Structure 1
Amino acid sequence: MKKYKLVSFDIDGTLLPYADKDFYPEIKNMFKELKKNGYTVVICTGREMVTIGNLLDGIEVDYFLGANGTFIYDCHKKEIIHEDKIFYSDFMVLSDFLDSKNVDYSVMTNKYGFFSEGHSFDSWFLRDHTDKFKWLNELDSNDSLHIITIKTESQSLIEETRKFLKDKKLKLEINSTWSKGFFVGPVNSNKARGLENLGNIINVSLDEMIAFGDSSNDYEMIKEVGYGVAMSDSPENILSVAKDIAKTAEEKGTLLKLKELGII
């Protein structure tokens, strides 16, 4: 197999079964084995500095690419080394639009999550991080805005929002969707661009990377890296662009695939 230099992993549904709170011991050891074999290890996820919680503690990972690749956090230096920020003025224009639609939404910064009035925090994804939640009226124009999350099951609202962003010429775009909503980030922000930005910093090209993922926000990453691997329970559009398929997160598919490929 071609010599790759970097291995990137999505978290939820890829490394971590949905609603689980910590990695399996075997997955933590997998990171150690990759490092021992000379690979750069990257976590690349829709999570950000708030909802990553303590998942990075005690694991051998070099970089955390959060908010779907919007920022790069150096896990050794413990600092953000690259950011594609959302302009505060653009966010406020979108915020007024979303308020008019009576929809729940939030924006995440490098310290806190800011939520619209009436937002429910009673979910497995949010309830452990309530100490880092504030209301939108507390948002400061100097905060670094990373990702906007809109909760809706309305396909028409997704299309209406996409048209609104274009008509208002905002430097924002919908970069992925899921069953209960969608994400908005800076134009041309996705996991592949995040990895490309990291590669420019550490001198590793996309075709020298392996990436594992399972959801719509993994599409570009799986398609554009040298060896993109989709989890077996991924949607068909993700499976269609993958070079390989791994078993599910519950089955520790990332570990099994890396062993099968002779990476570890």
Structure 2
Amino acid sequence: MSITDCDAHFFGGNNMYQCILSDIDGTLLTDDHHMSPKTRDAIKSLDIPFLPVSARSPEGIYPILKENDIVCPMICFSGGLILNEKGQVLYENGMNYKQTEEVITFIKEKKFDCTINIYALHDWLVEDKEDPRVLREERIVKAEAQKGTLSSLDPSRKIHKLLCMCNPLYTKEIERNLKDRFPHCSIACSSDILIEIMNEGVTKADAINHLCDYYSIDKNDIVAFGDNYNDKEMLESVGMGIAMGNAPDDIKNIAKDVTSTNNQDGIFKALRKLHII
């Protein structure tokens, strides 16, 4: 796919670093799901591109950007979808209907204590809209699920993500079972209650490779922020991978630096330390 003049201009700049990437939940946002004023002002003052890189759908990211008057490209579904600042698809990698059906059938047969969410580009489908876990997610991401099942979608559609909202007592057990049964899927916990299931090869790091190809930037010139296990490959793949102070020790140990927590303006402090702002 060719790069538009607008895209090329967006990725201009003469900074030592050429791009800033950030996970959203637990990283860009505080625990009350808002961007702190210091973080917002730091991002808006950048003269290099900023992109959110999240397990969220586009509909879960747009409200954050709108609330903070930010226009930018985004990486969604943990790397399964890249949209430019106009909302046009630059890259996507999704499961087909049969693959998705197999995963859903397995989860139901095992009677795992979780509820299944189906994401296909702008569609978010759930069987029970009144499930408390779904209602909680709607409040957090400021988006509304649709009542439906896999059969509600055209069989030719790509499924960008299945999300299991789990009983936290069983999240790790469910994750192990899914990884054992579907070794070719990309499966990762994004919190103690959420398991993300994507197509083979989907990671935030893989999406960054495609982003770099499209915009002719070097991964070594990228700063990335993250706080959880689905950020691991991203933090390892870029020139400056920074873990938040609230990240697990396993993530802090692979990062090139550790900043303050998401509630303590960690992104703002790191950008200032790097003399980017």
Q: If the length of structure 2 is used for normalisation, what is the TM-score?
A: 0.84
Alignment match, 1:157: 174
SS in 2 for 1:56: helix
**Is 1:229 the counterpart of 2:242 in the alignment?**
yes
Name the CA distance, whole Å, in 2 between partners of 1:195 and 1:59. Answer: 24
1:67 to 77, 93, 102: 77
| Structure 1 residue identity aligned to 2:104 | S
Alignment match, 1:105: 116
- Residue pairs, 1:177-256, within 5 angstroms: 177-256=190-269
**Is 1:19 the counterpart of 2:32 in the alignment?**
yes
Which range moved further: 225-234 or 153-162? 153-162
Whichever structure has more helix as a proportion of its residues is: 2
**Is 1:259 the counterpart of 2:276 in the alignment?**
no
Name the CA distance, whole Å, in 1 between partners of 2:127 and 2:111. Answer: 10
Which runs of no fewer than 5 residues in structure 1 stay unpaired? none
Identity %: 22
**Is 1:126 the counterpart of 2:138 in the alignment?**
yes
SS in 2 for 1:144: coil
Name the CA distance, whole Å, in 2 between partners of 1:226 and 1:130. Answer: 33
Contact 1:175 1:217 in 2 (8 A): yes
Question: Structure 1 residue 43: deviation in Å?
Answer: 0.7
Contact 1:50 1:132 in 2 (8 A): no
Alignment match, 2:95: 86
| Structure 2 residue identity aligned to 1:160 | N
SS in 1 for 2:79: coil
Q: Aligned residues, how many?
A: 253
Contact 1:206 1:225 in 2 (8 A): yes
- Name the CA shift for 1:205/1:188 in 2 (closer, same or farther; >3 Å): same
RMSD value, Cα: 2.1
Whichever structure has more strand as a proportion of its residues is: 1
SS in 2 for 1:54: helix
